[in-house]
Structure formats: structure tokens, C-alpha cells
Structure 1
């Protein structure tokens, strides 16, 4: 009974959080596309909410990198170039290798089990080309690693950098790229295997190898797209 008393109450998302999630999903499935302008009055009416609630949701999405506000022009779904990706990824890698090393020293059996479960979810999402499910499980996978560092500031920095980055990588892909997502799930399995060693050096090596494989493919495909 004492253990039950220590459990935290279940928290329901606020209305702005629920709206932000709905808009994130709309972006991920392509209902809202990179570069689309979000007219507040029209969007609030479509969602059946007030503009103050919508503005709170848009603030969250802006922080996460899904939308950008332009002075005197309005709010737009973020449109990221390949050069933007390269710059963001450079910062993300510098931070996340530190997180991986710290996580390897602190990882628990429960965390490893959850990482394995999320890899399974990613595999299934990749097979179905379910971008929203893949993004959700991908982010959850990395959040476990960030939490294991015990450094909330490192986690916050990675959250800010990686959230939108992961999403817009997905938005660049076509349904024919489903195999790439299945491969990405296997790369996450490789990262989890590195953490399972509980050796910071080996975990770092597994992470760098897995991430480099994915980004080499991603940059190669999208460089060709930009040149065509």
C-alpha cells in the first residue's frame, strides 16, 4: 500500500498541449506541409478553439522547431534546408555522444527493456510507413537515454535541438522509403546493444556508427534531390 501511495497522479494534457499534439500529427502526416502559413483565426475556427489557446499551442511547436514565426508575416510550418540539417546535426552529435556515455554508466535493466520495446514499435511503424508513430517512439527512445544522464540541462538542450530535427527528417521521405525506416529501427537496436554493455566507450562507438550510417544515407539522398 505504501508503494501505491508514492505513485504520482495521472496527468491529463492541457488543451493547448492537446492542440499542439494534433498540429504535430497533422504536420507529420502531411496535412500541413513545410512552408504552409498558419492563419490563426482560420485555424482556431477549424479546431473549435479560441485564439489564445492556439497561440499557446503554437508557442510549444515553435520551441520544438515545428513552426517558425516571421515578424509581420505570420507563423509558418518550418521548412528546413539540407544545410540547416547539417548544422543542427553537428550540434546534436556533439551533445548526444556525451549523453550516450553517461547513460551507459547509469543504464538499468528496466531502461534496456523499454528501449527494446521501442525498437519493436519503430520496426512496425517503419513497415507501415506510420510517420507519427515512428517519430513518437524514436523520440521516446532518445528521451530515455537523456534521462539516464542525470543531467537535466543536457536533456533540455537535446530536446530543443532534436525534436524538430527528427520530425523533419521524416517529412523528407516518401512511402517508397519504408525500408529506410526499418533500417533506422535496426540502427536504434545497435545503439541499445551498445548501452547494454554498460561500457561508455563501446556505447559511444555503437551510437556514432549507427548514426553515421543513417545520416550518410539521408544526406546522399537529399543532396541528389536538391541538385535535381
Structure 2
């Protein structure tokens, strides 16, 4: 009986840790928690109505994912990433995303293409209104949708590791006026190439899009 209770307790703790991890990760993605911010365990425990234990475990897990750094005797902080570290991740993302384009040319259904076109249209509306929050979430959904339908679990795992870390930076590259429309114009090229079943153009469009995103982000961070 005691071992059963222990297993139930461990499962509940693991579930709460997963919930806390997802919630903290979303705070980072949304920008509510920014690079360098300290993770207030007490405040988050109260906010999520759980104990501090799962929050602490979630922070350890997010440290492994590259989103948080734990400092002995000081607590956990959202990771601050250097431009050089970000550039390296963008270069890896460029290669992975190019493969996504090639696979989608082979595997995309008419329904998927229609969904991507709808997301591009919605992003266009958000760009017209300069609605960064709405655009950013739609942008994440656009790229996640492509990855989900690429049909390669190993690729998805590596891509997810890169993208989680880039959340510390990606949003900043869209802040400058005009960048939303420039970004979405690149999405149009990507979907058009996939719909035309042109693997070379789809791969190139995605490579170019990733590195254009890097250049927008670098400019946003280095301009006075």
C-alpha cells in the first residue's frame, strides 16, 4: 500500500512539474519573463496554486533545455544569450528548416497547404495592424505546423531544442516597424514553393527566411 501511495505521489509531482515547466516556458515565449529576469518561485507557486517544489524542478528541467540558468545560493534566472550563441543557433536552424521544406514538398496535403495559406493571411492582418503579440503567436503556429507535418520525429526533436532557446531572442527581431510585413512576405514565398512542389525553391525560401530573421534580430539589438 505504501509503495502504491509513493508511486501516486511521484506521478502527481511529475505532472505538476510538467505543468509548471510548460507554464514558465510560455511566460518566456510571451515575453512576460525576459532574459536576465529572476524566477520568483514563491510568486509563481502562488500564481499556479502549487508548492514551490514543482517550480524548482521545472527550473532544473528548463536549465537543461537552455532557457534558464540556476545560480548557487541566488536562484534561477532566465538565460541571457550572447549574439554569438544566437548566431550559431540560427545557423543550425537554417539547415534544419531547409530540410523541413524539402519534406513538405513531398508530404504536404492540400489541406495542410490551405492551413498554411490561412495562417499567412492572418499574419498579414496582424502585420497591417502592427500587432506584434498576435503576429508572434501566429508565426510560431505557422512554423510548428510545418514541422508537425514534415513527418520526421528525429528532426522535430532537434528543431524543438533549437527553437526553445531562440525564444530568448526571436521576438526582438520583429519589433522594428516594417519587420512584420517583411517577415510575412517571406512566408508567402515559402508556401508558394511548397504548393508548387518545388523542393529547391522551398528549401531556399526557408533558409533565406531564417537568416533574414537573424539579420532583423541582430539589427534590432545593435542599433542605437
Is TM more than 0.5 here?
Answer: yes
Q: 8 Å contact 2:126–2:135 — kept in the other structure?
A: yes
Residue 184 of structure 1 corresponds to which residue in structure 2? 183
| TM alignment of 1:163-174, pairs within 5 A | 163-166=164-167, 168-171=169-172, 174=175
1:137 maps to: 138
Q: Is the 1:139–1:163 contact (alpha carbons within 8 Å) kept by the matching residues of 2?
A: no
Q: Deviation string for 1:55-81 (max 9, x for gaps)?
A: 454456446544333444421112222
CA RMSD of aligned residues (A): 2.8
How do residues 50-199 of structure 1 correspond to structure 2 at under 5 angstroms? 50-55=51-56, 57-58=58-59, 61-62=62-63, 65-166=66-167, 168-171=169-172, 174=175, 177-199=176-198
CA 1:124–1:22: 2 relative to 1, 3 Å: farther
Alignment: residue pair count? 210
SS, match of residue 69 in structure 1: strand
Give the superposition deviation at 1:185.
Answer: 1.9
TM-score when scaled to structure 1? Answer: 0.76
Structure 2's unaligned 5+ residue stretches are 1-14
Q: CA deviation at 1:109?
A: 0.7
Q: 1:33 to 1:214 in 2, by over 3 A?
A: closer
- Map Cα deviations across residues 130-165 of structure 1 (whole Å, 9 max, x no partner): 444333322222222223332101011001101331
Higher CA-based Rg: 2
Gaps of 5+ in 1: 1-13
**TM value normalised by structure 2:** 0.77
Alpha carbons of 1:16 and 1:124: their partners in 2 closer, same or farther (altered >3 Å)? farther
